[in-house]
Chain A
């Protein structure tokens, strides 16, 4: 473990940015934290509850997959993949670190998604322990400890110092690059902060939210529950919750006709949309209720069913802050689960 004073952070960023693209949480013009590509003058913001997680750096909202060109009655398939640049993301919250583990289960299991895999190989993640969780945070419900944020390097900000702990070989290599800005530190120096965060998490309004009643084997019990009708009543059917969600990973594949060829691309899709997974026979979820139910059943039942009990939600709280009608996974869990 190493440490350095907060004044040096711009120098450290500049050093990292010499060899890789660097993304940090910085305020946009509306004072909202957004992962921003660092350049001289980009300021790390105090709040690192970013509007949207780091998902799109690995799984962009739109991405070309391949192209087709037709000539002389032959179709040529063009591989449009380009080698990703090396990049580093700084300031990733523990929930967002966990979200990448969930995305990995989907994209890195066979058949491996080469587009996502390439970016994962080129990306180094530096996490940051939460200093000021939001009232909408409930990561501890899913067993996540924001005091131990993980990833390649774990970072704690304590008073006027940053503490960096490498967890992987890539993390150790990166620490070597910034060696001349740092001094050695003892893990015991961050113990107090870890304690403080753990106590803080227990005071959050959603601290007691439980996953009781959800998980593997609960499909039959939950699928026909009559409460779905009421829960989905106000839903507008927009895609906000799915697009701000760090774990939502559904996409659609489309062909764009360029006139003399086709570009096949994919883009984020939302189970809230009326043509989601529309097939030749039509749509398998024709009502708002069915689409609404799908999103929560996927996160709370189907995903754990297929992934050894791992839930598809990390409690980042973004859907809670952003839903236009304030209907969200917490309200669903309280209504249908074993919560009081």
Chain B
């Protein structure tokens, strides 16, 4: 359960709106059920009171919306950012994707977000309401007389179980107390895959990526994917494709995307959250992050505005290319 209350966020946003410091508020809007939130721009206090939500289903990272929502308008837009979202915010600024002066960042401490897929594995379909208690989620369904109580840690999303930081790396105002950068186990899965034989590894990724339907949700949600025209959408690029012609091509899209965001991916985990086919896409990005850490020293994209990624920087200490090859072969 989130420690900061919805009311506190609404009060803060309303004050800033009413005093004219911000012209609108980028936040999360309630949906039809208790878990289907939609990113939304609120312009009045009434809209906030009616529809704003802050709960364990506010996983959506709002930072990428700033690219479009700050364009062509005057004034500031208030944005609520969780710790992991602030890394994306900084990375976008590093890449000059929007004007810092147009955003007013309210940092919201986060206790981790729930994964509705994990919940449905326990409750099955037919959820009629969700209550947030101190230690448990209380899920009522159309098919159970009594609500099903589930401890939060059973349904935390993977990225939150392996949270890398509870610290906000940027904000204008902080609500509550800031956290710390954490020691996470986020590379454990990558290590498992590294230890596979190349045949096993190929089979693993074949199994995962063959489910891809090329909806591009991973790319479209990704804060590192802000090209105005993606090569895969551009008929002039020569590589445009809307569907994989064969099993080789389906890997191509994801591998190219992983390379393109290498050194820029902050590991926010949105790609895996939105994948309708439940492909663990974040593992591709984490492999790159792990390699960068090992080859060039610890590097966290988005930690500071203006940081140069080791992949676009040169120092005399950089490893030689053959070291990477030797490492792979050993």
Contact residues of A with B, CB < 8 Å? 28-32, 47, 49, 51-52, 61-62, 132-136, 200, 203-206, 233-234, 236-240, 242-244, 252, 254, 256, 265, 267-270, 273-275, 278, 320, 322, 324-327, 330-331
Q: Is the CB of A61 within 8 A of B37?
A: no
Chain A residue numbers with a CB within 8 Å of B274 are 236, 238, 240, 324
Chain B residue numbers with a CB within 8 Å of A206 are 32
B44 within 8 Å of A (CB atoms) = no
Q: Is the CB of A62 within 8 A of B243?
A: yes
B216 within 8 Å of A (CB atoms) = yes
Q: Is the CB of B242 within 8 A of A238?
A: no
Chain B residue numbers with a CB within 8 Å of A239 are 213-217
From B121, which residue of chain A is reached at the shortest CB distance?
A31
Q: Is the CB of A238 within 8 A of B126?
A: no
Chain B residue numbers with a CB within 8 Å of A135 are 33, 125-128, 142
Q: Is the CB of A274 within 8 A of B142?
A: no
Contact residues of B with A, CB < 8 Å? 31-33, 36-41, 60, 65, 121, 124-128, 142-143, 207, 211, 213-217, 219-221, 229, 233-235, 240-245, 273-274, 276-278
Q: Is the CB of A236 within 8 A of B33?
A: no
Q: Is the CB of B143 within 8 A of A326?
A: no
- Extra contacts besides A51-B277, A233-B40, A236-B221 (14): CB < 8 Å: A51-B276, A61-B213, A133-B142, A134-B126, A135-B125, A135-B142, A136-B125, A203-B142, A243-B213, A267-B241, A275-B234, A326-B37, A327-B38, A330-B32
- In the complex, which of the residues A61, A254, A275 contacts B233, with contact meaning CB atoms closer than 8 Å? A275
Q: Is the CB of A325 within 8 A of B128?
A: no
Q: Is the CB of B276 within 8 A of A240?
A: yes
Min distance, Cβ B63 to any Cβ of chain A, angstroms: 14
A205 with B221: in contact, given A135-B125, A233-B41 (CB under 8 Å)? no
From B276, which residue of chain A is reached at the shortest CB distance?
A322
Chain A residue numbers with a CB within 8 Å of B216 are 238-239, 273
Q: Is the CB of B124 within 8 A of A47?
A: yes
Min distance, Cβ B125 to any Cβ of chain A, angstroms: 4
A-B contact pairs, 20 of them (CB 8 A): A29-B207, A51-B277, A52-B213, A132-B124, A132-B126, A134-B126, A135-B142, A136-B125, A233-B40, A233-B41, A236-B220, A236-B221, A236-B274, A237-B220, A238-B215, A239-B215, A240-B217, A243-B214, A269-B242, A326-B38
Q: Is the CB of A200 within 8 A of B215?
A: no
- In the complex, which of the residues A132, A204, A268, A274 contacts B243, with contact meaning CB atoms closer than 8 Å? A268
Chain B residue numbers with a CB within 8 Å of A52 are 213
Q: Is the CB of A205 within 8 A of B32?
A: yes
A325 with B276: in contact, given A256-B245, A331-B32 (CB under 8 Å)? no
Alpha-carbon gap, A133 to B216, bound state (A): 28
- In the complex, which of the residues A51, A134, A252, A268 contacts B125, with contact meaning CB atoms closer than 8 Å? A134
What is the interface of chain B mostly: helix, strand, loop, or mixed?
A: loop
**Interface pairs A-B: 10 shortest CB-CB:** A267-B243, A324-B274, A326-B36, A134-B125, A238-B217, A236-B220, A322-B276, A238-B220, A239-B215, A240-B215
Min distance, Cβ B156 to any Cβ of chain A, angstroms: 17
From B271, which residue of chain A is reached at the shortest CB distance?
A324
Centre residue among B127, B217, B273 by max chain A CB count within 10 A? B217
Q: Is the CB of A268 within 8 A of B38?
A: no
Chain A residue numbers with a CB within 8 Å of B207 are 29
Centre residue among B36, B229, B235 by max chain A CB count within 10 A? B36
A244 with B276: in contact, given A47-B124, A205-B128, A236-B220 (CB under 8 Å)? yes
Q: Is the CB of A234 within 8 A of B38?
A: yes
Q: Is the CB of B39 within 8 A of A234?
A: yes
Min distance, Cβ A28 to any Cβ of chain B, angstroms: 8
Min distance, Cβ B271 to any Cβ of chain A, angstroms: 10
A325 with B39: in contact, given A61-B243, A133-B125, A134-B126 (CB under 8 Å)? yes
Chain A residue numbers with a CB within 8 Å of B39 are 234, 325
Alpha-carbon gap, A237 to B37, bound state (A): 17
Min distance, Cβ B120 to any Cβ of chain A, angstroms: 9
Min distance, Cβ B69 to any Cβ of chain A, angstroms: 9
Alpha-carbon gap, A200 to B142, bound state (A): 9
Q: Is the CB of A275 within 8 A of B235?
A: yes
Chain B residue numbers with a CB within 8 Å of A136 are 33, 125
Chain B residue numbers with a CB within 8 Å of A270 are 215, 242
A204 with B40: in contact, given A49-B125, A244-B276 (CB under 8 Å)? no
Min distance, Cβ B226 to any Cβ of chain A, angstroms: 12
Chain B residue numbers with a CB within 8 Å of A278 are 235
Chain A residue numbers with a CB within 8 Å of B215 are 238-240, 242-244, 270
Min distance, Cβ B181 to any Cβ of chain A, angstroms: 28
Chain A residue numbers with a CB within 8 Å of B65 are 234
Alpha-carbon gap, A275 to B232, bound state (A): 11
Alpha-carbon gap, A29 to B278, bound state (A): 10
Q: Is the CB of B142 within 8 A of A325?
A: no
Chain A residue numbers with a CB within 8 Å of B242 are 252, 254, 267-270, 273
Alpha-carbon gap, A30 to B275, bound state (A): 13
Min distance, Cβ A295 to any Cβ of chain B, angstroms: 13
Chain A residue numbers with a CB within 8 Å of B31 are 326, 331
Q: Is the CB of A132 within 8 A of B125?
A: yes
Chain A residue numbers with a CB within 8 Å of B243 are 61-62, 267-268
Min distance, Cβ B80 to any Cβ of chain A, angstroms: 14
From B229, which residue of chain A is reached at the shortest CB distance?
A274
Chain A residue numbers with a CB within 8 Å of B245 are 62, 256, 265
